Structures are given as C-alpha cells and as structure tokens.
Structure 1
C-alpha cells in the first residue's frame, strides 16, 4: 500500500524522509559552528523539497516524480548539507550517499511491512516516523563517535570509496522503480534484501579498512606522544645532572675560597678578602635553566623548539601564562605546540635574517588560548576547512595534526594571514 493517489500523504512521507535523512546526516557529521546559517540552509532546502514534491507529483504523477527524485530532491540535498558541514567533498559524498541508501532501505522496508500486514495509512505514517526517530537516535548515541573518528582519517582513497554508495544507491533506485513500482514487482523483496546483504558485507569490509587506518593513525599519535614524553624526561635528567655537576664544582671552589678567606682573616687583610669574593667565579657559575611553564614535557618542548628557532637566527618574543594544571594531556598539547613552532620556523627560514621573528602568546583566563605568529613570503591560500593549502610534497602534515588535535578536544582553531603575518590561534 503506497497510497499514491493521496497527494497530502505522499507529501508527508517525503517530509518525514527528508527531515529523517537530514537528522541522520547531522547526527553523524561535524557541523560548522555557525548554527543560524546551518538552520537557514537546511530549513530552506526542506521548504524547497516539500514544494517541489507537491508540485511535481501534480504535474508528472507519483511514479515519474519518484524516478526524478535523484535530480530534484537528492542532489540538491547533498549539496545543501555539504555547505553546512566541515568535511571534504569525497568524504561528504561517501557519508551522505550512505545515509541516503540507509534511508531508502528504511522507507521501502516500512512500505513493504505495512503492505504485508495490510496496514492503514495511519499505521504507515506511525511506522515511518518511528523508524526515522529510532535511526536518528541510534546514529547519534551509538554511531556518532565512529563516524567522527572515520572523518578524521587522512587517506587518499575517499574518492574511490565514495563510488560505493553512489553505485548502490543508483542500483536500488533502479531496482525499485523500473520497469514498475516495487510494490507491483513480486520478485522485488527477494532482490532488494539480497542486494542489502551484499551492501552490508561490502560496508563491513570498508569500515574494517577505515577502522584499521584510524587505529594506525592513533598508534602513530601515541608513538609521537611517547617520544615527546621521553624527550621531556631526558631533558629533565640532563638538566638535573648538569646542575649537580655545577653544584659540585661550586662547592669545591667555595671550599677553596673559604680556606683562603680564613687565612686572610687571620692576617687581618680585609681588602684582599673583598677582592677575592668579588672576583670569585663560583658565585656566578650556576646557570638558570630555561623555564616556560611548570609542566616538564611542555617546558622541554618549548625549550627545544624555541632554541632551534633561535639557532636559525629567528628572534623570539614570548608572553606565556601557562597554568600548572593543563586543560588537556601535556604530551598531546606539546605535539600541537611542536607542530605549530616547526611550521613557523620553516616559514621564517625562507626570509632574510633581519625579518625572522616568532611571537608566541598564551593565556589561561577566561579560557586556555595560545597564538603563534610569524612573517611569511609569497601567497597563502586556505581550503574550505580553514586550513592553509600546500602543494609541496611532505608539507601540511603538521597542520592536519593540529586540526586533528582541535577536533579531538573540541577546540576552536583559526588560521589567518594578513599584513605579511601568518597567525594560528587555538582556544580550548
């Protein structure tokens, strides 16, 4: 029972399918922060889809409308959702078409189930609405984290992967609407669910592959964190050892000086005592270790990378107010700082020595925020996700790592270039 002659109900079905599919996509997508803009785009699309559905069903008829729905409804929806999400084109197509495919299976399954039990228009409406609400809740509370993790995977295979849901979506649509509507084709349910089983197996294999990629990148990040921790520990041990040796030398020199002072005091030679004390190198030998913050790992990172910049002839200006208790894991924050400072150092190395400068600022009230700025030469272009684009091989890895850090901790990040200065600002 498809109630094809009931235009009002068919409009309701399209309404539920559109908002249900939108809800499924939004439940598993990293949306842009401009919520008013997002609502404007999505709401405008929903109004467009309802009007088009009502109009084209009157003009073309129900079956002809369904056969044109890919062009009239689905494609504009994919484009609209893309304008509200933070993702690449190929990843968006893969995820959005996958959700459309799932929505199509849900929509057809409800119709087949209602037809099988000879349900009414009301039962079909309740089943349809309940099915979409359940799907949205399931994806938001159970699958959202998996989808967001997959979205952060840096792999070049998304263009090929996106062809999978495109092919299956077109196949199922053709199977459902040609040569007749699926409710008039006795062989359709068998073919429909056999194709569904094949789709499920292929998607299982794809998600296993993506999960392996995600695990590999997570292990790489863990390795970087461990290396950063080891560097911090080594730096702390070296500083402690150096200070111990210096204290030992100072004690030896102090002992000699006190012996000499004792002899001069017995002789009553006050002037010689004062000269001896003022010329003593023991009092000035102990050096003060560089201290940027109390956390040993972050302090060691800042010390190492700022020293590297200074050795490259780069002037350093820092204003750092870093709390004792950091808002995130110190090693992960250290990797973020390291990537940002390494990028700034590379950019400054391309400039004349008198123009090389890095400014680093950090505050922790009202929120933990830091900014790293450096001059640059040439042109900087930014991609849709706000990241600076790079055409050079091997470049951009550090920037993607910074973005992954921000996405993991739900931090605000902003890359900007103005007045000859490139700036990175991160707020946790």
Structure 2
C-alpha cells in the first residue's frame, strides 16, 4: 500500500507537468537551441529529481500544505526558466504561449482538485493523489487533442503572421485571465467550492476565446495589407506597361518620321561632304544625335513582369544619372506568380532608387543578379546608399516610417516565405546595401 501511494505521488508530479510541456515545446521545435534529444534528456532529469524529492518529502519530512505548494511552485519556475532558455524565440511570444499552456493546465488540475474534494475525500485520505491522477488522465484523453489542435492549427498559424512588436502587448491578455484565475483559486482549501471550479473554467475559456479572436483578426489585417500591396503593385505594373507601350508607340512614330526624312538627311550630308564643310557636318550630326530618345533596353529578360519593371527603373535611373548593372535571366513561366515577382523586384528597385537619390555622391549604382540555379530562383539586388540605416530588434527598418518595418519590407518577407525563402539584408563596406534570397519554384 505504501509503495502504491509512492507510485501515485510520482505519477502526480509527472501528470502535473509533462502533458502540458508537450504543448509548451511543440510549437517551437524548429527553434530549439539544443538538439531535441538533449532537451528531452535534461527535462527528464529535472522531472526525475523533482519526483524523487517529492516522494522523499511527503514520506520523511514533516511539511504543511503551504510549504508543499511552495515546493511545487519552485519547480514550476525551474521548468519555466529552462524552457525559455532552450527555445530561441522572442520572449513575449514565448510568454504568450506559456501562459496559454498554464491556463489550460490550471483548468485540468483545478477540475481534478474539485472532484477529489467533493466526491472522494475519504478515499483520498487513504490513497493521496490517486483520484487526482485519474481525473487528470481522463481530462487529458478528452481535451488534450482539442487544445493541441487549436494551438497548432490556429494559434501558431496566426501567431507566425503577426508583427513582432505586437507581442509586447498581446501577452497581457492571457496574463490577466491567468491572474484572475490564480487570485480566486490560489487557496486549495476552497477547492470544494463551486466558485473555485467556475473561476478556472471561465479563465480558461475566456482566455482561449479572446486570444483566438484577436490573433485571427490580426492575421486577417495582415492578409488584407498583403493583398492591398499586391493590388498596388499590379496597378504599378500596369502603369509601367502603359509607359512602355506609350514609349514604344512614340518610338515607332519617330522611326516613321525618321524614315520619311532620311532622304533629306542624306542629301544634306552629301552636300556637306561635296563642299568639304567638315565642321558644319559634325555640328549637324551632333544636333541630330541629341534628338534621339533615351536609350533604354527593351529586353532585359524573358519574364514580362520583371522585364517591364527593370526597363522602367533603368529609365528612371538614367534620368537621375544613376548607373545600373542588371543581369537577369528569368524565363516567362518559372512557377512563381508574376504578381509576386513584381512585389519583390518593384519594392527592391523602388527602395534602391530612393536610396541612390539621397546620396550626395554621383557614384551611385543599382546592381541586380537574378537567375535559376538547380531549380531555384536566386535574386541579389544591391545599391549604393548614404550610410544611414535604421536597425531595430535584429531587423532593418524603414527610414520613411520612422524606424517601423516598412510595408515594402513586410511584403518582400511575405512573398519570400511563400516560396520557402528568407531574405537576407546586408551592408557591405558601410555604403552598399544588398538584399539576397533563394525562392523555390513550384
């Protein structure tokens, strides 16, 4: 019987922490600082030590319920610190998921305490933790799959699309619900009161509902912003195409006029040569050269969307005396939507042009290298700049938006993520900015 009670005590410690740790760690398996085997080994060592000491304390040491509660809370803190140490993610984002997990755990354990105190008190006095363990196991069987699916399918999906700075505020929502639950149920002597279990259920259901609605709304706002960005660039693409077609039409008309007047030019040149008027001939030829339109390449690459944007920005760069060095080899259909290519090239080229315009030096250049390699699209876009940058929380921020993440940068990150890429932003030699990414084609 004594051995049975010891086994129940060990099982109680395991059930009190282990099932909920799965929810705590699983959303961040790709963000662990250590190999998962090492994380599990260290975690199991802590759990074994806690269970062993717990069995020793309740069997050999005279300890009251408050001191026992302090012991359990101390281990909760140890496991919390350990989880925050081995997961490489922003603190407040981790804290949000940690609080969600704690709220769910408090509901399960609170229900077990309520059942034990109201219906099996006499049995519990003889076999401590047995009823509590059974109640936790039954609840885990029925509720864990639902909560696990909710957190993985919705919370994590929504959370990954949320702007990072918002996590400094969002964590307050589960924190307040958890705090309310703790304040009203911290005294385990009231576990038999219906208010005890009501407070825990209301805190859990309220926190999950509010957080779900909030994260879903934030994701929807992000999706709307992304769609609006796509529409803006589609409009920009149409505008640049109109300009290209207008320029083409004008060039055709100029060619027709030139062909019509070509006979007269030949006659005039011939007369200058026959009369040996070399200076007049040179002046006339220079005058005619200056009337020619700006030389902008008509074909940079086969992809229509990228070609239109490249030609458009080459023309703008030439008007502003900015050198361009474009080497782009992208076919018409590579498995990436033209609208997505427009977002990447349009945003990068627009930012590059603005950065070069801010330079006082005339040695400004925009350079592009883009092409296919082993089935993936490699894009490297660089430009000169004046050395002023905004860097916050490990990310480059927009100077135009007072240090906040620019809409263009956000769109580039979203499109790159869609194709399995992560853009790299670098500064070379203090005055050259480079964006590079590898996109997997479909």
Q: Shorter-chain TM-score category?
A: 0.7 to 0.9
Question: 1:170: which partner in 2?
Answer: 179
C-alpha deviation, 1:7, in angstroms: 3.5
Question: 1:413: which partner in 2?
Answer: 423
- Contact between 2:328 and 2:371, CA under 8 Å: does it hold in 1? yes
Question: 1:265: which partner in 2?
Answer: none
Question: 1:400: which partner in 2?
Answer: 410
Matches within 5 A, 1:171-190: 171-180=180-189, 182=191, 184-190=192-198
- Contact between 1:320 and 1:363, CA under 8 Å: does it hold in 2? yes
Write the distance in 2 (CA, Å) between the matches of 1:58 and 1:201: 38
Distance of aligned partners of 1:90 and 1:21 in 2 relative to their CA distance in 1, 3 Å threshold: closer
- Contact between 1:225 and 1:335, CA under 8 Å: does it hold in 2? yes
Unaligned ranges ≥5, structure 1: 261-270, 272-278
3-state SS of paired residue (1:191):
helix
Matches within 5 A, 1:123-138: 124-125=136-137, 128=140, 131-138=143-150
Distance of aligned partners of 1:233 and 1:393 in 2 relative to their CA distance in 1, 3 Å threshold: closer
- Contact between 1:228 and 1:331, CA under 8 Å: does it hold in 2? no
Write the distance in 2 (CA, Å) between the matches of 1:299 and 1:113: 70
* Residue from 67, 73, 78 that aligns with 1:72: 78
Distance of aligned partners of 1:219 and 1:378 in 2 relative to their CA distance in 1, 3 Å threshold: closer
C-alpha deviation, 1:372, in angstroms: 1.5
- Equivalenced residues, count: 392
Write the distance in 2 (CA, Å) between the matches of 1:381 and 1:222: 25
Question: 2:226: which partner in 1?
Answer: 218
Matches within 5 A, 1:202-241: 202-203=210-211, 205-207=213-215, 209-241=217-249
- Contact between 2:324 and 2:366, CA under 8 Å: does it hold in 1? yes
- Tell me the alpha carbon deviations over residues 285-312 of structure 1, each in whole angstroms, 9 at most, x when there is no partner: 8977532222332222222233333433
3-state SS of paired residue (1:368):
strand
* Residue from 295, 300, 309 that aligns with 1:292: 300
C-alpha deviation, 1:40, in angstroms: 6.8
Question: 2:25: which partner in 1?
Answer: 22
- Tell me the alpha carbon deviations over residues 198-235 of structure 1, each in whole angstroms, 9 at most, x when there is no partner: 43553355346425533542342233233234224423
Write the distance in 1 (CA, Å) between the matches of 2:208 and 2:148: 19
Write the distance in 2 (CA, Å) between the matches of 1:52 and 1:379: 53
| RMSD, aligned α-carbons | 4.3
User: Normalising by the residue count of structure 1, what TM-score does the alignment of the two structures yield?
Assistant: 0.73
Distance of aligned partners of 1:124 and 1:223 in 2 relative to their CA distance in 1, 3 Å threshold: same
Distance of aligned partners of 1:59 and 1:159 in 2 relative to their CA distance in 1, 3 Å threshold: farther
C-alpha deviation, 1:9, in angstroms: 0.6
Matches within 5 A, 1:5-16: 6-13=8-15, 14-16=17-19
C-alpha deviation, 1:59, in angstroms: 7.6
3-state SS of paired residue (2:373):
coil
- Contact between 2:174 and 2:211, CA under 8 Å: does it hold in 1? no
Write the distance in 1 (CA, Å) between the matches of 2:399 and 2:76: 35
* Residue from 36, 39, 53 that aligns with 2:36: 39
- Tell me the alpha carbon deviations over residues 362-384 of structure 1, each in whole angstroms, 9 at most, x when there is no partner: 12121101111234454767555
3-state SS of paired residue (1:341):
helix
- Tell me the alpha carbon deviations over residues 253-284 of structure 1, each in whole angstroms, 9 at most, x when there is no partner: 57x69xx9xxxxxxxxxx9xxxxxxx9x9xx9
Write the distance in 2 (CA, Å) between the matches of 1:203 and 1:192: 16
Question: 1:192: which partner in 2?
Answer: 200
Question: 2:379: which partner in 1?
Answer: 370
Unaligned ranges ≥5, structure 2: 59-67, 121-129, 268-273, 275-284
C-alpha deviation, 1:106, in angstroms: 4.6
- Tell me the alpha carbon deviations over residues 46-66 of structure 1, each in whole angstroms, 9 at most, x when there is no partner: 346525633663587653334
More off after superposition, 11-20 vs 243-252: 243-252
Write the distance in 1 (CA, Å) between the matches of 2:249 and 2:311: 17
More off after superposition, 159-168 vs 204-213: 204-213
Question: 1:427: which partner in 2?
Answer: 438
* Residue from 45, 62, 69 that aligns with 1:63: 69
1:340 and 2:337 matched: no
Write the distance in 2 (CA, Å) between the matches of 1:330 and 1:78: 41
